[in-house]
Amino acid sequence: MANIGTFTKAEDGTLSGFIKTLQLNTKARFSPLEATSNGGPDFRIFAGNVEIGAAWKRMSQQDRPYISVKLDDPSLQAPIYASLYEDDEPAQFSMIWNRAQAK
């Protein structure tokens, strides 16, 4: 697993930061959605004005909250799955890449 991004949470719930991989090197923004349907995402992910993914709030087996991330773009051979975890510093998050598809 590798850290592919860092984000800061704003008071309105928006997460802003950077995603860096061999294919992506961009500023990104997680915009929270007001109301979600059953199974619908909790966030839409944007690079500028382009939507590049979605994310869902989850709870780990150790009762630690995290955000399950799916990034996709026509330039990618396959979607990127990652998890966003809060760091030791309040309102600071790290995006950890995972080859396996999120559940």
- Nearest Cα to 32, choosing from 74, 73, 67? 67
pLDDT computed for residue 86 by the predictor: 93
More confident residue, 98 or 2: 2
**Contact (CB, 8 A) for 84 and 66:** yes
Question: pLDDT-derived band of residue 74, with 50, 70 and 90 as boundaries?
Answer: confident
Question: pLDDT-derived band of residue 36, with 50, 70 and 90 as boundaries?
Answer: low
Domain spans of the chain, in order of start: 2-98
Region 53-72: mean pLDDT is: 94
Cut 0.75: pTM above it: yes
**Contact (CB, 8 A) for 70 and 53:** yes
